[in-house]
Every structure is written in C-alpha cells, then in structure tokens.
Amino acid sequence: MNDLTGKTVLVTGGARGIGAETARRAVEAGANVVVTDVLEDEGKALAAGLGERARFMRHDVTSEEDWAAVAAFATAEFGGIDGLVNNAGISTGQPLETETVEHFRRVLDINLTGVFIGMKTAINAMKDNGGGSIVNISSAAGLMGLALTSSYGASKWGVRGLTKLAAVEQGTAKIRVNSVHPGMIYTPMTAQLGIQQGDGGYPNTPMGRVGEADEIAKAAVFLLSDDSSYVTGAELAVDGGWTTGPTVKYVMGQ
Ligand SMILES: NC(=O)c1ccc[n+]([C@@H]2O[C@H](COP(=O)([O-])OP(=O)(O)OC[C@H]3O[C@@H](n4cnc5c(N)ncnc54)[C@H](O)[C@@H]3O)[C@@H](O)[C@H]2O)c1
C-alpha cells in the first residue's frame, strides 16, 4: 500500500510540522523527496536526517522565479516531478472588520497564489513525465465558515476551488489533483496559538482530541500513490469529524 518507489515528490513548507511529516512518510514509502521552505536551517537538518533520497532547497512559494529554480533542481537531481504537496502556509486569526487589506493580500499571496504557481509549475513538469499527483493542503476552514479566519479562510476556500477546476482540466493528462482538509493538528503553527496536544485538546471535534501531523502525512501519501488512481477533485477531511457539523452529544427531546 501507498508505495512511492521511483517517484519524485516535492513538499513545500516542509521544514517542520505537517510538511516535515509528509516528507518523512514519502521517503519511507520509497520516494525521492525535495523539501522546500523559507526556513533554511530546519529544512537542511530535516533533509540530512532523511538520508540519500532527500534534498532541501530554499524556496519562497510566492516567487515564480523560485518555483522555476525548484523545478529545475528536482529535474537535475531526480529526473522530474511526479508528486507535489502544496503545504506551505501561514495561519492568522482576525475578525473581518479589523483585518487590514495589506495583511489579507499577504495571506492570499502565500496560501493561495503560492499554490497556484506551484500547480502551474508542476503541471508543466508532470506533462513531460506522463502524469502525476498534486495534493493541496487546504483546511477545515476551507470547508466551513470558521470565525476569525477572514484571510486564512478565504485562502483555503480558494485552494479547494482551484483543486476542483485543475482536476477537471488535467483529468485526461493523467494528473490528479486533490485537497486535504486538516482539522486542529498539533504543529508549531497551532502550538503558537496555545493548542495542547492529544486527548481533550480540542473538544469542538467529535473525536475530542487534537490530531497529529503524521495523520495528515498518511492521507497525503495515499493521494500521491497509485492506490488513489481513480481519485481526483476530491476533498479529504482529516479532522476528527470537525466538519461533519456542530458537535451535538445529546438526543433531541431528552
Ligand atoms: N496545524 C493545523 O491545525 C492545520 C489545520 C489546517 C490546515 N493546516 C495547513 O497545513 C499546512 C502546514 O501547516 P503546519 O501546521 O504544519 O504549519 P507550520 O507553521 O508548522 O509549517 C508551515 C511551514 O510553511 C512554511 N512557509 C511559510 N511561508 C512560506 C513561504 N512563503 N514559502 C515557503 N514556505 C513557507 C513555514 O516556514 C513552515 O515551515 C498549512 O498550509 C496550514 O494552513 C494546518
């Protein structure tokens, strides 16, 4: 299951958190992995620890030039790109009425424009390789109206939409495009928000606990692998049931 032997996978924002676990899982599954991030020290250390089939390159996902350089690097090192995990992102919380236009544009630039340039770059590279799989990391905030996420939520709904239309456009080109929607996952991003790891850490979810980065990584590796060969344009919630609706734990009338 989930064999990636012989495939080359690019993971953006891979220096830590969900991206780092995805890179680790992809190497375990047999892939060559190019980890990219703006955090150079963490990214280099991670790639060194993952061994011979991992590389790191500094990469700002908002830069078209950086994307071109990463694609050239992956082709020079490993012969092309078969999988892309568009994972890099920033999270912020603001009520809409106090959000600034400047900040809104910055979040959209990283979380949505970065994904757009990545898809464009990867599709062109994948066409040369006979197909591929793109996994876009959206969010539970891209499946519902989550309060205090005006810029973040807009970016993640945008990622979900871009995923669908790209899946339609690329279907016959054998390039599959899917989105993953993590719920509350314990990473440096959420630790900064005061989220606690494990059971009881997030009672809003039916499962009651905060998820682990590796639980998202496993979903990403499934979508990268040929085991998901007929899955495209799908949105996979990995959220402990958070987006099923309000967590109602009583029966009406009782
Ligand atoms: N942790 C959660 O609960 C959660 C929930 C839903 C969605 N997500 C999404 O999962 C993805 C990974 O999140 P995480 O929790 O691991 O966060 P994280 O902050 O731990 O990791 C994100 C990585 O993206 C990198 N990054 C930021 N801006 C970048 C840029 N311009 N270019 C390249 N890299 C950049 C950061 O340096 C960092 O290494 C994000 O897209 C996030 O929105 C996370």
Q: What is the pLDDT of residue 248?
A: 57
Q: What is the pLDDT of residue 94?
A: 87
CA of 87 to the centre of ligand 1 (A): 6
225-228 contacts at long range (C-beta below 8 A, 24 or more positions apart): 225/1, 225/2, 225/3, 225/4, 225/29, 225/133, 226/3, 227/1, 227/2, 227/3, 228/133, 228/176, 228/178
Alpha carbon nearest to ligand 1 atom 21, residue: 17
* Alpha-carbon gap, residue 24 to 18, rounded angstroms: 10
Alpha carbon nearest to ligand 1 atom 25, residue: 13
Pocket test for ligand 1, best of 163, 187, 195, 242 (most atoms within 8 A of CB): 187
Q: Is 62 in the pocket of ligand 1 (CB under 6 A)?
A: yes
Angle, helices 17-28/213-224, rounded to nearest 10 degrees:
50
Residue closest to 8 by CA, chosen among 158, 120, 128, 116: 128
Residue 11 has, within 13 A of its CA and on its CB side, a CA count of: 31
CA of 137 to the centre of ligand 1 (A): 9
How far does Cα 251 stand from its chain's mean position? 36
Q: What is the pLDDT of residue 93?
A: 86
Report the SS3 class of residue 157. helix
pLDDT tens track, the chain, 254 positions: 899 999 999 999 999 999 999 999 999 999 999 999 999 999 999 999 999 999 999 999 999 999 999 999 999 999 999 999 999 999 988 899 999 999 999 999 999 999 999 999 999 999 988 999 999 999 999 999 999 999 999 999 999 999 999 999 999 999 999 999 999 999 999 999 899 998 887 878 899 999 999 999 999 999 999 999 999 999 999 999 999 976 655 556 65
Report the SS3 class of residue 195. coil
Q: What is the pLDDT of residue 17?
A: 98
Pocket test for ligand 1, best of 11, 21, 37 (most atoms within 8 A of CB): 37
Q: Is 38 in the pocket of ligand 1 (CB under 6 A)?
A: yes
Tokens of 34: 């190019």
Q: What is the pLDDT of residue 251?
A: 59
* Alpha-carbon gap, residue 138 to 163, rounded angstroms: 10
Tokens of 16: 């830590």
* Alpha-carbon gap, residue 89 to 44, rounded angstroms: 19
* Alpha-carbon gap, residue 84 to 12, rounded angstroms: 8
Q: Which atom of ligand 1 is nearest to the CA of 61?
A: 32
Tokens of 150: 């005006």
152 given a catalytic annotation:
yes
Pocket test for ligand 1, best of 11, 42, 70, 91 (most atoms within 8 A of CB): 91
Beta strands in 73-161 (DSSP E): 83-86, 132-137
* Alpha-carbon gap, residue 148 to 236, rounded angstroms: 23
Q: What is the pLDDT of residue 249?
A: 59
Q: Is 92 in the pocket of ligand 1 (CB under 6 A)?
A: no
